[in-house]
Chains A and B, each alone.
Chain A
């Protein structure tokens, strides 16, 4: 492992929670692109271990791996609230198409999603990304991936076809 990867791994271990890629770049005095590469290296090195790396577009976090999930599940309490169908629908749209504006989320779902988005933000399943303009963009958080037992959104079923759909791009354009 490169020393940069080792440093990042140590930072993530001691932080114990999600860390911003931009923050790591600043601390380690490197470009964010280098951080992304080093994270890939860590993720590869952790293959087959009890620990894994979750990454989103903005954050990274060390977590327990999928291979031990069943073992750990026996210690988890089951009283947590389930997600409603509407909540999961909204999250799916954002997971596959994020970062995405509320307008586009509404267009795909055919309904006003403001309330839903607010709730999901409160539950920490979404992240709001403020842009230079008036609109905010939304993307899923590492917490969302962790609940699904995934370390990257590329593991989502049919990710490739749904995230890059020319047809859908055109539809979204037409409604603007």
Chain B
């Protein structure tokens, strides 16, 4: 039973702001054990696996580590029966707090199902956001076709001039297609080539693209890649 628990990381979805108690309750549910009557020790591995695996917000990671240390303490005692004494205060505290926490967790789930189900509304609720009357009583000016035309001209004059096109010179990199073609052509001539030599002198972007290109070609089994160790000469063999 323990072996299975160590190797399989339970799929627990934990929202960003939930804490270590929440995680323990979830883990206990997953393992179908009751936090109250089984040793917390059994959940230690899954708990540690979780905090290793997931990026926990730095604001709350501390709380997870405190609980982790208590769990490890429990576990250490079990492994060294000679020093095993009755549970010390720290462990007892954790157990008691979890029990209290679980009560709040339970009611909060119940409340969540009620949320906005039978909402009570304040006065004027439906009046909010409705069309509001103009604030002042200024009468509308007389509108003639001439005044409209003048207003339109006025607006047109206020349109800012179109921005002058400015020239940007950027070095155009090669497209992935071009790079594929390049490698294909070269491999037609020679059955193998050294990657570093082929890309020597090209831009960083082209080098990166070239690397992607040969990886893709290797994936499609049109080439075989060979490299003795990291950063050494990379040879591309045609297949």
Question: What is A's interface to B at a CB cutoff of 8 Å?
Answer: 13, 16-17, 52, 54, 61-66, 69-70, 72-73, 75-76, 80, 82-89, 91-93, 95-96, 106-116, 145-151, 156-158, 162, 165, 167-168, 171, 174-175
Contacts and interface: CB of A to CB of B under 8 A. Distances in A.
Contact of B97 (A92, A107, A113, A114): A107
Contacts of B123: 13, 16-17, 62-63
Nearest to A92: B108
Given A88-B112, A115-B17, A108 B117 contact: no
Q: How large is the interface on B (under 10, 10 to 19, 20 to 34, 35 or more residues)?
A: 35 or more
Interface of B: 15-22, 59-60, 62-63, 67, 93, 96-97, 100-101, 103-105, 107-112, 114-126
12 contacts: A13-B123, A66-B120, A84-B15, A88-B108, A89-B105, A109-B19, A113-B17, A114-B59, A145-B120, A149-B120, A150-B120, A175-B93
A107 to B, nearest CB: 7
A88 B21 contact: no
Given A92-B111, A110-B67, A66 B104 contact: no
A114 to B, nearest CB: 7
Contacts of B105: 89
A148 B114 CA distance: 6
Nearest to A172: B100
A82 B120 contact: no
Given A72-B119, A75-B126, 8 more contacts: A54-B120, A64-B121, A69-B119, A86-B16, A92-B107, A112-B60, A146-B120, A149-B114
